Amino acid sequence: MPTDSLASIGQMMADTVPMVRTLGLEFSETSAERAVVSLPDQSAYHNHVGGPHAGAMFTLAESASGAVVLAAFGGQLDRAVPLAVRAEIGYKKLAMGAVTATAEIGRPVAEVLAELDEGKRPEFPVEVRIAREDGVVTGEMTIVWTLRPHG
């Protein structure tokens, strides 16, 4: 994907994914190596203890993973569609206030593309850390993605 397209991934996601708009997610970094996305502190999305609801944090992490996947594999959309296959999340510490998710692909992009070139449906993990503003990691999520070839 051209570099000028990378800057617009957050805007594209906001335009096409209603939950990104609903939660007001903010994309501060998007590259083929990592994406950094924040969930502002909003009382409408709090849980019973006043922090961000688990569902909002799940959506934040999944959205960050989608951004890095689009940055890394957006140039393949003419032959494959990226799809989340499964996800596992662990809530480690109490999250309060704004939280930020940092997502990184867990396999070399070239290796995934080589499998796609061979006609396979590659799977790859995206590891996400969710942290409070003070840097404390409050959650970790692994989302396994695939590139499903068209046809």
Mean pLDDT value of segment 52-65 = 97
Q: Report residue 146 CA to chain centroid gap.
A: 14
Three-state secondary structure call for residue 47 = coil
Closest to 63 (Cα-Cα) out of 87, 42, 47: 87
Phi, psi of 39 (to 5 degrees): -110, 110
Domain ranges (residues) in the chain: 3-149
Structure tokens given for 97: 């206030």
Question: Can you give the pTM of this predicted structure?
Answer: 0.93
pLDDT in tens, 77-110: 999 999 999 999 999 999 999 999 999 999 999 9
What would the CATH number be for the domain defined by 3-149? Answer: 3.10.129.10
